[in-house]
Structure 1
Amino acid sequence: MFFTRKAFPVQFNEHLPLNTLIENIVFTVFDTETTGFQVASTDRLIEVAAVTVKGCQVQSSDTFRLYVNPERQISQEITELTTITNEQVAGAPFALEAIEQFFDFVQRNETSCLVGHYVAFDVLVLKNELKRSKFHLKKLQHIDTLDLIGFLAPSFDMRDLEKYAQAFGTRIYPRHQALGDALTTAYLFVELLGHLKDRGYSTWGDLLQVTNSPARHLSF
């Protein structure tokens, strides 16, 4: 039997003229933590967090963070990595409610674009959690800081967020915690935007061009 998944109700401020200056765009930088890497099958979301970037500045007072009940045990290995315990998530909302709250934060800030470091994984997490609740996401614009680094510094091939933050001299927050990684990514992203502007790339169209990737949209 064929089951049709409903479109998840989320609206972005995404219809921007290509000549819109980057500093006039609102970005939401986000990160997730999970019970493991098999998010299409057995592993689940345990934390989601985000921070707003507006006017090419990190709005550190405008953040979102939520633990998520994964409906399964968190291994000791993941607890040691993330500091998230089974007790902390026991009374937390389930994935669908957590994702709804996340997108409420995104829409409340009139976000035009999501940003993440190796964002494809975080996208996959959202996709599969929504799929379990019979939802799918329409196309939502997103940018990976790895694509931006690949354009600005193609010789860099470290992938590790902390090493990139060190290389570009930006702030580093606690690792493998969704809010810490979101904040670290946000400050790295702002620094990268500065380098982009120094090279003469200043508009939304420029940003889309230099980060062009087949996986740039959340299209499920």
Structure 2
Amino acid sequence: MFPFARKDYFPSNLVENLPLSTPIDKLEFIVFDTETTGFNLAKEDRLIEIGAVKVKGMEVVEESAYQSYINPNRQIPREITELTGIANEQVEKAPDAMQAIQKLTSLANQTSACYVGHYVSFDMHAIKYELKRRNLHWKAPKAIDTLNLIGYIAPSYDMRDLEKYARDFGTRIYQRHSAKGDALTTAYLFVELLHICHDRGIKTWGDLLMVGEIL
């Protein structure tokens, strides 16, 4: 367990006060993805899987990859099992959401600049609502969305499909609708987008926040 500074505060465990002038090739990121029982995160739906991997020096650190099923303490709908392959039997003895979230933020280890995901606001909300149920608040962790970077590079794109983008940008594709697989796919897409952004003049942490941060 993290030693919380306040009863209602859950640490993001990211680097604090990172200079905006830091070159992007010197940064570390946590790319992550979640699977849930559905899309009504504020009410009945819960996390059932988290997957994450580090990107450092504009390269994917595959050996850092983390995955955990999560016991949602409710039944997983049949359509979600069909989509993700995650059945009730797989999560019955899995850690609870709090343990998995702590592992995710531990991976950041106060060395990562921010969290990254594809349509990352959904994943951030999944975590924030799990923490809220425990009367905890995830205090404004910085996050970059690959969709925002794609919008900067190619504004005409209007779809959200991760696999389509991975194919279009020529990056690796791992198992779909698996949190670990989608995190790895997103990480390789993110690295390609970083290189393209760098070639277009996005050289620093401050530059990257301007084009990629979710608000």
Q: TM-score, normalised by structure 1?
A: 0.92
Contact 2:143/2:213 (CA < 8 Å) preserved in 1?
Answer: no
- Does residue 1:182 correspond to 2:183, yes or no? yes
Amino acid at match of 1:47: E
| In structure 2, distance between residues paired with 1:41 and 1:196 | 38
| In structure 2, distance between residues paired with 1:206 and 1:126 | 27
| In structure 1, distance between residues paired with 2:83 and 2:74 | 17
Corresponding residue number in structure 2 for 1:52: 54
Corresponding residue number in structure 1 for 2:197: 196
| In structure 2, distance between residues paired with 1:200 and 1:10 | 29
SS of equivalent to 1:126: helix
User: Where does structure 2 lack aligned partners over 5 or more consecutive residues?
Assistant: 1-5
Query: Given the alignment, which residue of 55, 62, 65 partners 2:64?
Result: 62
| In structure 1, distance between residues paired with 2:105 and 2:207 | 26
Give deviations 1:160-200, integer Å, cap 9, x for gaps: 00001111010011110000000000000000011111112
Regions of 4+ moved over 6 Å: none
1:5 Cα deviation after fit: 6.5
| In structure 1, distance between residues paired with 2:137 and 2:125 | 11
What's the RMSD between the two structures over aligned residues?
Answer: 1.4
| In structure 2, distance between residues paired with 1:11 and 1:35 | 27
Corresponding residue number in structure 1 for 2:9: 7
Contact 2:14/2:112 (CA < 8 Å) preserved in 1?
Answer: yes
User: Where does structure 1 lack aligned partners over 5 or more consecutive residues?
Assistant: 216-220
1:11 Cα deviation after fit: 2.6
Give deviations 1:128-181, integer Å, cap 9, x for gaps: 000111111112111000010000100111110000111101001111000000
SS of equivalent to 2:55: strand
| In structure 2, distance between residues paired with 1:18 and 1:55 | 16
SS of equivalent to 1:48: strand
Corresponding residue number in structure 2 for 1:163: 164
SS of equivalent to 2:109: helix
Q: TM-score, normalised by structure 2?
A: 0.94
1:212 Cα deviation after fit: 4.8
Give deviations 1:2-51, integer Å, cap 9, x for gaps: xx971113431132111111011100000000000011101100000100
The percentage of aligned residue pairs carrying the same residue is 57
Contact 2:145/2:213 (CA < 8 Å) preserved in 1?
Answer: no
| In structure 2, distance between residues paired with 1:197 and 1:37 | 35
- Decide which moves more: 146-155 or 203-212: 203-212
How many positions carry a matched residue from both structures? 210
Q: Within 5 A, what are the aligned runs for 1:2-151?
A: 6-107=8-109, 110-151=111-152
| In structure 2, distance between residues paired with 1:169 and 1:154 | 18
1:56 Cα deviation after fit: 0.2
Corresponding residue number in structure 2 for 1:218: none
Contact 1:53/1:186 (CA < 8 Å) preserved in 2?
Answer: yes
Amino acid at match of 1:39: L
| In structure 1, distance between residues paired with 2:45 and 2:122 | 12
Amino acid at match of 2:107: F
